């Protein structure tokens, strides 16, 4: 299942957090050879993790990380504006209605498991779209391994490519996804996940209190 976790709550999910940062190191440092910093316990974090982002994380039944992405508003500091603006015609995208998704990551063991390799990326996309719809956004912007373009397309939610650079495994792209109900339905239809499931993930991570009951106390 997907859990939305703000960085300030990661301590409540120690196994999930530790395996996420470890899997990010494996994907971005070891496999893609991006110039990211990995600490002495093998965790990959950068300055944007310190801005209290929201993570959408696939949590396996054993509590470990299956895949994840990191979400920040473009009215604040973002990777796409600070490091990849040149891929976007120099435009600094900064509007309350567009948020940035980065560090789209899949656990190495999930990549080797056909069921997880199909399910988890679709679940992450659905979770991202759900969050955007809940918060009233129009688009998501992201920086990603350019080879993911094909995968995003197969998941039913293709980004428009604003720019790309590099070749092979160091190819990086900046893309823009529309956040709308049609996208949510397309991702659900393509993956076989019920469209309603993302709403359940949201409820689970941001549980409701009965406000009338408190008022009546």
Partner 1 sequence: MTRKLETVLETLKGTHCAESLQSLVEDLRGIYDVEHVVYHALNIAGSPYAALTYTNEWVDRYIEEDLGRIDPVIQTAMRRFHPLDWKRLDWTPPGARTMLGEAIANGLGNQGYTLPIRGPRGQFALFTVNASAADRSWDSFTAETAQDLMLISHFIHQKVLEIENVEEKAPGRELSPRERDTLHFLALGYGRAQIADRLGISEHTLRVYVDSARFKLGALNATHAVAVAVSSGIIFP
Q: Is 39 in the site for partner 1 (CB under 8 A)?
A: no
Smaller CB separation from partner 1, 39 or 160? 160
47 binds partner 1 (CB under 8 A): no
In this chain, which stretch among 28-36, 55-63, 91-99, 188-196 interacts with partner 1, using CB under 8 A? 91-99
Quick check: 206 binds partner 1 (CB under 8 A)? yes
Residue 200 interacting with partner 1 (CB under 8 A): no
- Among 176, 193, 195, 197, the residue binding partner 1 under the rule CB under 8 A is 176
Give the span between the Cα atoms of 60 and 80, in whole angstroms. Answer: 30
Rule CB under 8 A: choose which of 35, 61, 62, 90 binds partner 1.
Answer: 90
**Could you tell me the smallest distance in angstroms from the CB atom of residue 111 to partner 1?**
30
Minimum Å distance from CB 196 to partner 1? 14
Query: By rule CB under 8 A, what string of x and - marks binding of each residue 138-167 to partner 1?
Result: xx-x------------------x-x-----
Can you tell me the distance from the alpha carbon of 216 to that of 59, in angstroms, rounded to the nearest whole number?
37
Binding residue for partner 1, selected from 92, 113, 150, 165, defined by CB under 8 A = 92
Q: Which residue is it, tokens 């996804």?
A: 177
DSSP letters spanning the chain: -EEEEEGGGGGGSHHHHHHHHHHHIIIIIIIT--S--B-TTS-B--GGGGG--EEEEEEPTTS-EEEEEEEEETTS--HHHHHSGGGGTT-----TTEEEEEEEEE-HHHHTSHHHHHHHHHHHHHHHHHHHHHTT-SEEEEEEETTHHHHHHHTT-PPEEEEEE--GGG-EEEEEEE-SHHHHHHHHHHHT--TTHHHHHHHHHS----HHHHHT-
Applying CB under 8 A, does 54 fall inside the site for partner 1? yes
Q: Does 171 bind partner 1 (CB under 8 A)?
A: no
Positions touching partner 1 (CB under 8 A) are 6, 8, 52, 54, 72-76, 85, 89-98, 134-139, 141, 160, 162, 176, 178, 206-212, 214-215, 217
């Amino acid at each position: 299942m997907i859990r939305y976790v703000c960085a300030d709550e990661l301590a409540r999910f120690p196994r999930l957090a530790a395996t996420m940062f470890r899997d990010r190191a494996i994907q971005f440092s070891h496999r893609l050879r991006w110039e990211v910093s990995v600490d002495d316990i093998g965790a990959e974090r950068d300055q944007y993790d310190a801005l209290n982002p929201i993570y959408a994380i696939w949590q396996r039944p054993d509590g470990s990380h299956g895949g994840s992405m990191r979400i920040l508003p473009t009215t604040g500091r973002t990777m796409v504006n600070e490091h990849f603006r040149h891929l976007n015609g120099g435009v600094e995208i900064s509007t309350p209605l567009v948020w940035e998704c980065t560090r789209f990551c899949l656990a190495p063991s999930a990549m080797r498991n056909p069921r997880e390799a199909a399910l988890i990326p679709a679940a992450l996309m659905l979770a991202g779209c759900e969050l955007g719809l809940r918060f009233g956004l129009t688009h998501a912007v992201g920086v990603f391994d350019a080879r993911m373009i094909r995968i995003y397309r197969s998941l039913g939610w293709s980004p428009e490519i604003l720019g790309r650079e590099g070749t092979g495994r160091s190819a990086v792209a900046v893309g823009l996804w529309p956040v709308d109900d049609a996208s949510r339905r397309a991702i659900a239809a393509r993956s076989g996940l019920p469209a309603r499931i993302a709403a359940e993930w949201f409820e689970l991570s941001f549980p409701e209190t009965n406000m009338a009951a408190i008022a009546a106390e």
